[in-house]
Amino acid sequence: MKTEVENYNPIARLIHWLSAIAIIGLFAAGLWMVDLSYYSEWYRTAPHWHKSIGILLSGLTLIRLVWKSVTVSPGIEGNTLEKWAAKIAHGLMYIVLLILFTSGYLISTADGRAIDIFDWFAIPGAGALFEGQADLAGEIHFYAAWTLIILAGLHAMAALKHHFIDKDNTLRKMIGASK
């Protein structure tokens, strides 16, 4: 039998907030870096960092999902519609993250190269798996990134609405301060 909990556990909270910061940073850095000129000192470094942090985040997300499946999460608050909307939004964010990781990998490895993670280790590339891979994966990556940021924005607004208008524990349980 599962025991009820009031807060997300500390590891789930840490991963949630670290991931949120990484995702917002990756989004801003992604939009900025694609317009850099060859002569910018960031031309190589920015994509290297973007890919390294993106791959590390994909590993963290895998750990997050395993952790979520072996621990208990607190219940979602609000009316039936809000509970469903929250569940669908959470699920969609995980799915869109998966699309971002896959498309990011496919853009980066289309030319046969591996992905170096901060010069610590490398993820092998599978080379070109289909025609026009870098372009198609790039388009998907772009739209997926916008989809995730819009979903996360709505999600954050919902959390603030629960906190300031409904005055319930929704936001507190992600900070570890449920009353």
Q: Taking each helix axis from N to C terminus, what angle separates 45-70 and 80-109, rounded to the nearest 10 degrees?
A: 140
Distance of CA 175 to the CA centre of its chain: 19
Residue 13 binds ligand HEM (CB under 6 A): no
CB of 27 to ligand HEM, least distance (A): 4
SS3 101: helix
How many Å apart are CA 19 and CA 56, to the nearest integer?
Answer: 10
Residues 79-138 touching ligand HEM, rule: CB under 6 A, are 86, 90, 93-94, 97, 100-101, 104-105, 107-108, 115, 138
Q: Is residue 61 near ligand HEM by the rule CB under 6 A?
A: no
Using the rule CB under 6 A, is 171 a contact of ligand HEM? yes
Question: Under the criterion CB under 6 A, does residue 156 sit at the interface with ligand HEM?
Answer: yes
Q: Is 7 in the site for ligand HEM (CB under 6 A)?
A: no
Stretch that binds ligand HEM, among 36-44, 125-133, 147-155 (CB under 6 A): 147-155
Distances (CA, A) of 49 to 30, 116, 125, 143: 10, 10, 17, 21
Residue 15 found at the interface with ligand HEM (CB under 6 A): no
Asked whether 145 and 102 are in contact (CB, 8 A), the reply is: no
Of the candidates 142, 139, 115, 144, the residue with the CA atom closest to the CA atom of residue 48: 115
Do 32 and 46 form a contact (C-beta atoms < 8 A)? yes
Interface residues with ligand HEM (CB under 6 A)?
16, 20, 23-24, 26-27, 30-31, 34, 47, 50-51, 54-55, 57-58, 68, 73, 76, 86, 90, 93-94, 97, 100-101, 104-105, 107-108, 115, 138, 141-142, 145, 148, 152, 155-156, 159-160, 170-171, 174
